[in-house]
Amino acid sequence: MLRAPRLLVLLPLAVALAACGGNTPAAASPTPAASVSGAAKAVEATPPPPPSALPAMQPMPPPGVRGSDVAKVDEVDALYTCHAAAPVGGKEPKGDAAKLAAACAKVSGSWTKVLAQSVTQADGDPAAKIPFRAEAGRCYRVYTAHDGAVTAMNVTVRDAAGKDAADDGGSALPRAGRLCFTATGEASLLVAVGAGRGVVAVELWSTAK
């Protein structure tokens, strides 16, 4: 008689558990960390595809000489700085070019003036051509000055074969020395203005090698 009440109490509890299903849902399995990091490394390790249709690398020209077979730059340290202290003001190109040449004629040999000429040039104009006779066994240097209206210019020395021996936009060419010829021929100076319009004065000097 004492066991019946206990059965009556347990029976409703069993019915309630059966109605709820009686099972706890399984937790979702986490993605293994190793597999995630491995996939990231695989993506990072994949190199980008190489660029296509690039032009071939062009060879660099030898320093100081642009293709002439008869003219070569002879570097002279004293010529690199001799014109730096010349008093030029940009108002009288002809006089400024003469001052530059005179400042350098006192160093590194006995120099002789070959020519002095002024040209009026503007950007877009064909280069002004100034001929001179280059002699074998002699070296040359060009001095240039221009008025304030010219903001960029360039001078090229071209040998008798039409090949460029040297070019520069500074006040002395070659900037670090002299240009020496091994053959006699009709060479030329090409003066071109890249920006502005005005007068460019040129002096060419020569010395024995």
Q: How far apart are CA 132 and CA 175, in angstroms?
A: 20
Q: With 50 as the cut, is the pLDDT of residue 46 above it?
A: yes
Query: What is the structure's pLDDT at 43?
Result: 45
| Average pLDDT score over residue span 190-200 | 95
The confidence score (pLDDT) of residue 84 equals 82
pLDDT in tens, 99-152: 999 999 988 789 999 999 999 999 999 999 999 999 999 999 999 999 989 999
Confidence of residue 48 (pLDDT cuts 50, 70, 90): low
pLDDT of residue 49: 55
- Average predicted confidence (pLDDT) for the chain: 78
Between CA 51 and CA 136 the distance in angstroms is: 50
Confidence grade of residue 190 (pLDDT, cut at 50, 70, 90): very high
Candidates 2.40.50.100, 3.40.630.30, 2.60.120.10, 2.60.120.380; correct CATH number of 71-208? 2.60.120.380
Confidence bin at 64 (pLDDT 50/70/90):
very low
pLDDT (mean) for 58-69: 58
195 pLDDT above the threshold of 60: yes
pLDDT at residue number 9: 42
CA distance 200 to 118: 6
pLDDT of residue 66: 62
- In the chain, where are the structural domains located? 71-208
- Transcribe the chain into DSSP letters: --SHHHHHHHHHHHHHHHHT-S-PPPPPPPPPHHHHHHHHHHHHHSPPPPP-SPPPPPPPPPTT-SS-SSEEEEE-HHHHHTTTT----SS-HHHHHHHHHHHHHTSSS--EEEEEEEEEEETTSPPEEEEEEE-TTEEEEEEEEE-TTEEEEEEEEE-TTS-EEEEESSSEESTTEEEEESS-EEEEEEEEEEEEEEEEEEEEEEEE-
β-pairing verdict for 71-75 and 177-181 = antiparallel
